[in-house]
Amino acid sequence: MKMDDMVLISVDDHITEPATVFDNQLSGEALASAPKMMTDAKGKNYWTYQGMNMGSVALNAVTGRVREEYGMEPTSMDQLRKGCWDVHARIGDMDVNGVAASLNFPSFAGIDGGTFFNAPDKTLSLKHLQAYNDWHIDEWCGAYPDRFIPLGILPLWDPELMAAEVRRLADKGCHSVSFNDNPTKRGLPSIHSDFWEPFWKALSENDSALCLHIAAGNTAPHTSMESPIEAWITCMPMAVAFGVSDWMNLSALHRYPNLNICMSESGIGWIPYLLERADYTQYQHKAWTHSDAYRNNMKPSEVFHRNFSSCFIDDAYGLKNLDLVGEDKVCYEVDYPHSDAPWPDAPELLWKSAQHLTDEQIDKVTHLNAMRLYRYDLFSYGPRENYTVGALRAKAKAAGVDTTPISSGGAAPLAPGEKARPITSGDIVSMFAKHEETEPA
């Protein structure tokens, strides 16, 4: 296989939603009370909903910008590549990056639907959450059904409503939903509570994938406010290990053995050690922990390989140990338009790490596993040769997709006149707080 022969499906990308999300989905009072995009006195866009203002609308949507302007900028839609918020332009950005299909997580709505969870009027929240899902499926994904894997968000406050939404989404052809890897962070019962039983049952009955995105619940801590920000960015994927360790002990996985848990933006290189450690811990401690009572006498590693999948952006170490991670449970991701996204050079970066794999393994990691796990049949829309890296890039070239880096003089974390120094966690935390603020227009 050559690089241009790969077929890439990214199972973790993001939408910076346009202001028109609800316009075609609602009318009358339902539309009037829906989330609204606003512009403050400094030209910054933000969303407002049920008394809440959510700044940093374009937080970290930096794909295509000069790297010197990475950070918490940009903060307005006109500072973004159009592909961040316009589905037609997104297809061009996918083509030039050789990406055949993409699964997209929300931004203003919250990766786990947190905006609707936090709002006080849950009757309105449910109505608007469902309208958001309909927009995502019918307008965003529906514009190019061969190029997107739909993903729903859920009303976390009521597991019966969650189960109903899983069923409603499945009827619309959406078999992937986003959830929080640690709902206690939202003041909800832990995953080990009976509270979630209707949800697990609905997932199982509808064969819907449960996506647990990095940092939705468990997050990597800032070691100190003086630490260079790279220290935090480096360990973010490994924070996923906390959630995996917890979820491997979920008794529902034995009541519903077909539950499909997809770790999103997780990386894979850390997985072999975690599984080795988990198996040793069970062997060494089960006599007093009584873990077999709810593990059905399975090793944690066996539970992982049965129920879990993961994905990576750039993980040469993980691919060298693919046999230990599990070649049938690894997917690829780009993370467009976030700062880790290797756009428009994803194929080149991946190819450096994947050349030692067999053609069959490359196909599994790049698209076959994703098609199976997310119930998405790319080749039902056309032959493989239409979706290869080479074919898509030829299409982008013919369309004249421009990849020239953009600059808007985005604010740097340093104060005016301050000499260059390592950016710290404190700089980014204060910058985040600043961009959450809005000023009346």
To the nearest whole percent, how much of the chain has pLDDT over 70?
94
What are the CA-CA distances from residue 411 to residues 72, 120, 199, 302, 336 (Å)? 9, 34, 43, 48, 21
Q: Residue 293 above 60 pLDDT?
A: no
Sequence-distant (6+) residues with CB within 8 A of 153 are 106, 109, 110, 112, 113, 116, 129, 132, 133, 177, 178
Residues 358-400: pLDDT tens digits? 999 999 999 999 999 999 999 999 999 999 999 999 999 999 9
What CATH number has the domain bearing residue 245?
3.20.20.140
Sequence-distant (6+) residues with CB within 8 A of 416 are none
Block residue for tokens 């940093």: 56
The amino acid that residue 348 corresponds to is E
DSSP code at position 382: S
Alpha helices, DSSP H, located in 157-270: 159-171, 197-206, 229-235, 240-247, 252-255
- How many Å apart are CA 133 and CA 149, to the nearest integer? 13
Nearest to 50 by CA among 107, 111, 126, 112: 126
- Would residue 178 count as lying in a domain? yes
3-state SS assignment for residue 27: coil
- Would residue 34 count as lying in a domain? yes
3-state SS assignment for residue 147: coil
pLDDT of res. 59: 64
pLDDT of res. 435: 62
Residues 45-85: pLDDT tens digits? 999 999 999 876 666 789 998 888 886 667 789 889 999 99
Q: Residue 260 above 80 pLDDT?
A: yes
- Would residue 15 count as lying in a domain? yes
- Would residue 142 count as lying in a domain? yes
- Would residue 414 count as lying in a domain? no
Q: How confident is the model at residue 297 (pLDDT cuts 50, 70, 90)?
A: confident
Q: What is the mean pLDDT of residues 11-22?
A: 97
pTM over 0.85: yes
Sequence-distant (6+) residues with CB within 8 A of 440 are 40, 41
Where in the sequence is the domain holding 75, given as residue range(s)?
A: 3-407+419-436
pLDDT of res. 55: 72
Number of domains in the chain: 1
Q: Residue 291 above 80 pLDDT?
A: no
Q: Residue 412 above 70 pLDDT?
A: no
